[in-house]
Copies of this chain bind each other. A is one copy, B any other.
Amino acid sequence: MSSKILIWLDGSPTTTLPLPDRGLGFGDGLFETFLLSRGHALFTELHFDRLREGLAVLGMPDCVLEARRHLESAANAISQEGWTWAVLRMTITRGAGPRGYAPPENPSIRILVEGSQIDRDCLQMSSAANVSVAPIRLATQPMLARIKHLNRLEQVLAASFRHAEGADECVVLDQSGHVISVIAGNIFVVSQNKILTPRLVDCGVEGTRRRIIIEKWAPSIGLDVSEAELTLTDLDNADEIFYSNSLVAVRPVATLGKNSWDHYEVCSALFQQFLEEVA
């Protein structure tokens, strides 16, 4: 990945954020990670649906129209860079405000867009991943589950462990030891020709690719996805495991602890659905 980053704040190129900002102060905001193919953002409606949901949960004004406009102009600029693949992170904060936790009644939302190139060819399915289990468990917080807010220290600590382990990803559990996701994506288990994925009630992020797998890609290959309570034992006994996020679409798991898998039929068939969608 190139180290060049293009940044816009509320549509204007910038390299800095005005202070104070509640996104920095309290993580008071949301983000979305868009994959761009030749300057064209993919699955934008899924991202904006989740963003709208997050804005409602945090009691922030609905700024999806502006977000859409800023995404479009950033995507145009990126297509002029000639980047085949790019990732564009959009961060929405509640802007400035008086000191203290209470949000201002009429906040001036800030929309920050950071774009960078991806060197990898996203039309090739990623190699099967070596996965560990993160020691930090996700907090029980039903009021903030599913949305993609800026409070991500759990993911930072888990990713720090992943890096130290040399793993590609980590499974993360909730406080009672149920499987919730990987650090940066949702997890799926194939068992007896069924696809299972964790129910996201108390924690976890409702991924855009998770949603399209459930609603479209899995049905298209003749499989249903059920939400379930999953344990590490269910993962050990799985016929196949894969995870999803906006950058890889779906990626198979090769190893988890002492277990290994070498066939990824369902994951490959779902990746084929992604390819047809993008073509």
Which residues of A are in contact with B by a Cβ distance under 8 Å?
1, 3, 5, 7, 14-28, 31, 58-59, 87, 89, 91, 93, 98-103, 112, 114, 116, 136-137, 139-141, 143-144, 149-160, 162-163, 175, 183-184
Asked if B26 and A155 sit within 8 Å, CB to CB, the answer is: yes
Which residues from B are CB-within-8-Å of A144? 139, 153-154
A32 to B209 Cα, complex, angstroms: 38
Known: A17-B16, A19-B112, A91-B25. A98 touches B1 (CB 8 A): yes
A119 to B77 Cα, complex, angstroms: 47
Which residues from B are CB-within-8-Å of A23? 24
Known: A18-B16, A19-B7, A136-B143. A156 touches B28 (CB 8 A): yes
Asked if A101 and B16 sit within 8 Å, CB to CB, the answer is: no
Asked if B16 and A152 sit within 8 Å, CB to CB, the answer is: no
Quote the shortest CB–CB distance from A129 to chain B (angstroms).
15
Residue of B nearest to A145 (CB): B139
A20 to B8 Cα, complex, angstroms: 11
Known: A17-B24, A19-B14, A19-B114. A152 touches B184 (CB 8 A): no
A168 to B152 Cα, complex, angstroms: 29
Asked if B58 and A157 sit within 8 Å, CB to CB, the answer is: yes
Asked if A91 and B24 sit within 8 Å, CB to CB, the answer is: yes
Known: A112-B19, A140-B175, A160-B59. A150 touches B24 (CB 8 A): yes
A158 to B18 Cα, complex, angstroms: 26
A7-B19, A25-B89, A59-B157 are known; give 7 further A-B pairs, CB within 8 A.
A15-B19, A17-B24, A25-B152, A99-B116, A103-B163, A136-B143, A144-B153
A17 to B21 Cα, complex, angstroms: 9
Asked if A101 and B152 sit within 8 Å, CB to CB, the answer is: yes
Quote the shortest CB–CB distance from A201 to chain B (angstroms).
12
